Amino acid sequence: MPLPKAEDLEQLEDIEKQWAVKAMHHAETYFKLITSVDMRKFPLTKIDDEIYEDFEATFPEIDVKHLNDEHFKTPKAKEKWRNWVNKYEKRVNEFNFGSLIRIDYREDYLEQNTMFGVRMQFYAIEIARNKKGLNEELRQSLKASS
């Protein structure tokens, strides 16, 4: 297999930059949304209830208040997530598009509070946070402190 040419590497770098800009824009928009409205009344997908039930049944070990790397980054966890995410390939738009995920629900998308995932992981975590009222709790605490 031949080595990539310099211009190919530049194109890959441009694609990574475009992904990063799009993911950051998505994160900023979402944080503005969750700090402005009660997300318990605002679905993220047409199948939020199904995603939530499936996530809770498949990943009961995940505490969405504060995420733990071992539930995402180990080979076993990656395989479990891959199987779960792929079930939604034809049902959720951009199901495997790169997304930023907040580690602790009480914090913004700061460098130390952000991890990379795919859109279905983002949906699973944020739908669970919305259903459990965690994002509403965040919104209320920010409202009280301003």
> Per-residue pLDDT tens for 33-82?
999 999 988 899 999 999 999 999 999 999 999 999 999 999 999 999 99
Question: What CATH number does the domain located at 6-145 have?
Answer: 1.10.3560.10
Break the chain into its structural domains and give their ranges.
Answer: 6-145
pLDDT number for residue 13? 66
CA distance 84 to 46: 18
pLDDT(9) > 70: no
- DSSP per-residue letters across 48-86: HHHHHHHHHHH-TT--TTB--GGGTSSHHHHHHHHHHHH
As a whole number, mean pLDDT of residues 7-24 equals 68
Q: What is the pLDDT of residues 27-39, one digit of tens each?
A: 999 999 999 999 9
Alpha-carbon distances of 72 from 36, 81, 105, rounded to whole Å: 29, 8, 16
